[in-house]
Structure 1
């Protein structure tokens, strides 16, 4: 997967709204809420142009029954993919456009972590600049190595999560 980080795109929120509407139709009564998360949800943040969505659902096990419909929508159904209690779907192959991270409503820790980071970044411009610059530099340094790109962000992201969770809870 080629690593591309771009300037914030005002169309990302509309892309979220359009795709989340399709997911709402598929998940139906199981869906409690769906959130735009990740870097594309933060105005002004440089990002890989991949729309991250977080559906919060009643029963995570029932989400597996929607795999065929998600596949028809263009998603790969990846199961938990290393995160217990999540259902992960990705769309676009190597040119990924969307990712879905579904969690059951009682999975408070993962839901809170995603929302805390998003909301922290939405209100802390200096963190947006630091994070965006880091991602841009790593993408230039590792344009063909997504693992090295992710490793390069790891320490910053962990500290960002700690800071954001503390801020979110207080």
Structure 2
């Protein structure tokens, strides 16, 4: 059974993101419109599970499906939409996952949601600390139960996303 670990922020996480970003740029070329570091490892100072979340944005989601073999060659497992319509989700590392990849087509509302949440946490230190503390508490409470851990974060994430989207609305561009 997998152990849920929340650790202090690691300054290597942005470098790890950049390494993976370069791989996606090589595979997808002009099909990419952007590659974003998202999730907790993208927020300086935030405690996180040591898994890098990456959100490549593509012109056409069909391009991702045609590159499954290339992604598999660099260690990624394709899981389809995995509960979010329009997404293509990949992970690396199996049970000891090190990367989550969330591909979306340009214009998807999910892009705005992820970036707003990230940017809000980057700019609101107290909310960032609350979220990190919550994740540490949940990891202690549910060390082998990813469902319990995720469910425990759900209300905080949804409430903060709603606030973050309003906060970013005037200045947001994809």
Aligned to 2:138: 138
- After superposition, what is the alpha-carbon deviation per residue over 1:2-47, rounded to whole angstroms, capped at 9, x for unaligned? 2110000000000000111111111122111100000000000000
1:168 and 2:168 are equivalent in the alignment: yes
Q: Any residues of structure 2 matched to 1:10-159 within 5 Å, and which?
A: 10-107=11-108, 109-159=109-159
Between stretches 132-141 and 23-32, larger displacement belongs to 23-32
- Which portions of structure 1, spanning 4 or more consecutive aligned residues, are displaced by more than 3 angstroms? none
- Alpha-carbon shift at residue 106 of structure 1 (Å): 2.0
Structure 1 unaligned segments of length 5 or more: list them. none
Name the TM-score, length of structure 1 as normaliser.
0.97
1:2–1:94 contact (8 Å) kept in structure 2: no
CA distance in 1, matches of 2:51, 2:160: 20
Aligned to 1:3: 4
CA distance in 1, matches of 2:43, 2:54: 13
CA distance in 1, matches of 2:136, 2:106: 34
Aligned length: 169
- After superposition, what is the alpha-carbon deviation per residue over 1:87-141, rounded to whole angstroms, capped at 9, x for unaligned? 110000111100110110021x111000000100110000110000000000011
Name the TM-score, length of structure 2 as normaliser.
0.95
CA distance in 2, matches of 1:59, 1:139: 37
CA distance in 1, matches of 2:29, 2:78: 18
CA distance in 2, matches of 1:32, 1:6: 32
Structure 2 unaligned segments of length 5 or more: list them. none
Matched residue of 2:102: which SS? strand
The two structures, once aligned, show a CA RMSD in angstroms of 0.7
Matched residue of 1:7: which SS? coil
